[in-house]
Amino acid sequence: MKDEVDIVKDLPPDLKSIDIEAIGSLITDADLVKEAKPVDYIRTVLPLLLRNRVVHFLGFGNRLGIDPFPSELQKLRCKCNFHALKFVPKIQQVGSLLVRRIRTHNAARSKLDKQLLGNFMSRVPPKGHDVASNGPSKYLALHLRFEVDMVAYSLCEFGGGESERKELQAYKELHFPLLIKRLKNSKQVSPKELRKLGRCPLTPEEAGLVLAGLGFKRGTYIYLAGSHIYGSKFRMNSFTSLYPNLVTKETLLTPTELAPFQNFSSQLAALDFIACATADVFAMTDSGSQLSSLVSGFRTYYGGGNAPTLRPNKKRLAAILSESDTIEWNSFEDRVKKMIEEGQRARVRGFGRSIYRQPRCPECMCKIH
């Protein structure tokens, strides 16, 4: 970024001892909403910067992500997100170890590998390397967004009866008090209607059916990203019976290798990001999740059209699954494939979409270095 902005590692000596909050230079969500435009920064932040010479943005991840944007800022966003920003060596090193153990392959194979892992992946496979004798050379990464927070916040039901309802209600009251307050003051939509509208997270069983409908065989090697699945082993039984070759960062890395990351959820997510972005196929169950969105954008930018991302239309899938008692398997396969194919079509980013999720525009995909 040296040609665009001046970057320093330390504040000038006369600013180091200043209490940034006391002088009013701390900028938080209360000062600028997530969807703020460049003009909002000029009105709110620039006067402070001119007066105090320093501002501190607190909690501003994924900001300035939504169009419309001036052309020169579009280029700057892409240059920053897809070229300048890289994982620190500690994450690259363990990320490369994770990818090598998934693929049983020591060499970088694509621009995605090079951008994410730097020099920690060899560019040339070792002599005499025979992939077939060492394990799978290709894998599918799946971000199964079915953690308890997602499940509880969705307000959906997943067949667990009264005990499930009580458990999720208790979780909402503890972790989502604003949601509880909002629900008391608004008309609630029934779980059945929410499912019909496509607002419910896919269960592991539903995710497995989609993959099977797309033709992925039992022997498919699958990397599962994300945190603990709600319902744990019980919920995963149907999925693992279909796809037993399932691995996670916890099964591929030793406790010692994972130890430096254990207290940092964003660093653990970074390892999942690497494994998902470099996969031969990436499948998501929730296109709105931040990790899935950023992975799909990275694969669009660096994949050269050879890094497919599978995203279900949950509303259409709900309609298909509602016919589970009568639909024939061949019909299910055809409709699932059509749904996924339509979701894979390359499109110029629509109005109001995130450039990090959908980088396809002239100012971004030109890849200015």
The rounded distance, in Å, linking the Cα atoms of 89 and 96 is 10
Residue 2 lies inside a defined structural domain of this protein:
no
In degrees, rounded to 5, the angle at the alpha carbon of residue 283 between the alpha carbons of residues 281 and 288 is 135
State the average pLDDT for the chain: 87
What is the tens place of the pLDDT at every residue in 144-196? 999 999 999 999 999 889 999 999 999 999 999 999 999 988 888 899 999 99
Q: What is the pLDDT of residue 108?
A: 65
* Confidence label for 369 from pLDDT (cuts 50, 70 and 90): very low
**In 10 A of CB 136, how many CB atoms?**
16
Q: What is the pLDDT of residue 346?
A: 63
What is the side-by-side strand order in the sheet with 281-284?
246-247, 222-225, 140-143, 281-284, 309-310
Residue 78 lies inside a defined structural domain of this protein:
no
**Structural domain of residue 165, as residue ranges?**
148-196
Residue 102 lies inside a defined structural domain of this protein:
yes
Tell whether 49 and 116 lie within a shared domain.
Answer: no
Q: What is the pLDDT of residue 304?
A: 87
Residue 217 lies inside a defined structural domain of this protein:
yes
Tell whether 155 and 298 lie within a shared domain.
Answer: no
- Take residue 340 and report the two structure tokens written for it: 């996924």
Tell whether 215 and 154 lie within a shared domain.
Answer: no
Q: What is the pLDDT of residue 344?
A: 74
Whether 289 contacts 149, CB under 8 Å: no
pLDDT at 48 over 90: yes
Residue 270 lies inside a defined structural domain of this protein:
yes
Domain end (from 164, 196, 228): 196
More confident residue, 296 or 121: 296
More confident residue, 108 or 256: 256
Nearest to 69 by CA among 355, 369, 346, 290: 355
CA distances (Å), origin 202, targets 94, 195, 286, 289: 30, 10, 8, 13
Q: What is the mean pLDDT of residues 51-70?
A: 82
Tell whether 330 and 358 lie within a shared domain.
Answer: yes
* Confidence label for 217 from pLDDT (cuts 50, 70 and 90): very high
Q: What is the mean pLDDT of residues 306-319?
A: 92
Q: What is the pLDDT of residue 118?
A: 86
In percent, the amount of the chain with pLDDT more than 70 equals: 92
Alpha helices (runs of H) in the chain, residue ranges in sequence order: 13-16, 38-44, 46-52, 71-79, 89-103, 111-117, 131-134, 148-154, 161-175, 177-184, 191-196, 204-213, 232-242, 249-252, 255-258, 265-277, 290-302, 314-321, 329-344, 362-365
Quote the distance between the C-alpha of residue 296 and its chain's center: 8
The rounded distance, in Å, linking the Cα atoms of 169 and 180 is 9
Q: What is the mean pLDDT of residues 329-352?
A: 84
Tell whether 273 and 242 lie within a shared domain.
Answer: yes
Tell whether 190 and 239 lie within a shared domain.
Answer: no
Number of domains in the chain: 3
More confident residue, 358 or 108: 358
Residue 47 lies inside a defined structural domain of this protein:
yes
Tell whether 243 and 97 lie within a shared domain.
Answer: yes
Tell whether 121 and 245 lie within a shared domain.
Answer: yes
Q: Which residues, including other chains, have CB under 8 Å from residue 210's CB and lie 6 or more apart? A: 202, 283, 310, 312, 317, 336, 340
Tell whether 163 and 190 lie within a shared domain.
Answer: yes
What is the tens place of the pLDDT at every residue in 198-212? 999 999 999 999 999
Residue 69 lies inside a defined structural domain of this protein:
no
Q: What is the pLDDT of residue 187?
A: 87
What is the tens place of the pLDDT at every residue in 90-146? 999 999 999 999 987 666 678 899 899 988 887 655 444 444 445 566 899 999 999
Tell whether 254 and 358 lie within a shared domain.
Answer: yes
Could you give the maximum distance between any two Cα atoms of the chain, in Å?
74
Residue 33 lies inside a defined structural domain of this protein:
yes
Q: Is 365 exposed, middle or buried (0-12, 13-18, 19+ CB in 10 A)?
A: middle
pLDDT at 368 over 60: no
Tell whether 109 and 27 lie within a shared domain.
Answer: no
Q: How far apart are the first and last CA of the chain?
A: 9
Q: What is the pLDDT of residue 216?
A: 96
Q: Concatenated DSSP letters for 149-197? A: HHHHHHT---S-HHHHHHHHHHHHHHH-HHHHHHHHTSPPPPHHHHHHT
The rounded distance, in Å, linking the Cα atoms of 142 and 276 is 7
Tell whether 189 and 314 lie within a shared domain.
Answer: no
